[in-house]
Amino acid sequence: MNKEVYVLKIGGSVLTEKGKERRARKNVIKRISKEIALAAHTSKKNNLILVHGAGSYGHPQARVYLESHNAKDALVTHESVKELNGIVLSSMMELGLKAMPIHPLSAVVSKGLKIKYKINEQIELALRAGIIPVLHGDVILDEKEGFRVLSGDQLVVYAAKEFNASKVGVGTDVDGVLSEKGAVIREIMPADIDKMSIKGSQHVDVTGGMKEKVFLLARLASESNIPSILFNASKESNVYKFLTDDENLFGTLIHAQFQRRDVK
């Protein structure tokens, strides 16, 4: 790809109701879709890969599978996250955005310690055609366990590495990474991760919550020199600010290994 690629993840806690299975926040989804559409109109330079979490459409269902190891429960999880994906896509397309779903169950497998992604060509062709590929947390086939959970955060790191993303944004329902005292940590250097005390997720989460997000993004910064910002996507205009390079976007910046940026 010759153009800049942005990778944006919107967390399931933003898109769905807490504690209510399969309850989408359709007004929030519509607002975020509007911000993506406005950014696409305002700033024509970026190609966007969108990833969304599963929230109440995936975590409670996946927890049932992890307890039962029944293939039926895994497929219930997949159908549920696919339903949320359809809601997101419909909202985007109603606003004139060209978007297409990529379901990990159909194109990602787990073999031993390695996850094999077979979606590079799909994503690349979509971007070349001006289409936003929309991925999501899902269950995938695993050669030993039958199925395993693939998080949206893992997809973010994969997409950022494969397409050499210039920007990575992770939108959650909090203002950034919180310390144990509840204060927003404004900047993180990858080398400092092991010394930090990070507040965990308050939701049902089978993928590791905030701590796992920070660990994965710190590794991305360290190994691939790609910075990221965690911000509150529940707040109006923040998605738009991320996509249009607004320096006033409040959040936690995880610095690239060899580059340090000032944060306002």
Q: What residue spans define the domains of the chain?
A: 5-254
Name the residue among 170, 171, 156 with its Cα closest to residue 220. 156
CA 31/CA 64 separation, integer angstroms: 32
The CA radius of gyration of the chain, in Å to the nearest whole number, is 17
Could you tell me the pTM of the whole model?
0.93
What is the CATH T-level fold of the domain 5-254, as seen in this structure? Carbamate kinase (3.40.1160)
Name the residue among 154, 166, 188, 174 with its Cα closest to residue 233. 174
Tell me phi and psi for residue 108, to 5 degrees: -135, 135
- pLDDT tens digits for range 199-248: 655 555 776 688 889 999 999 999 999 999 999 999 999 999 999 999 99
- Residue by residue, pLDDT tens for the chain (264 residues) are 667 999 999 999 999 997 889 999 999 999 999 999 999 998 876 799 999 999 999 999 999 999 999 999 999 999 999 999 999 999 999 999 999 999 999 999 999 889 999 999 999 999 999 999 999 999 999 999 999 999 999 999 999 999 999 999 999 999 999 988 889 999 999 888 877 767 655 555 776 688 889 999 999 999 999 999 999 999 999 999 999 999 999 999 999 866 534 333
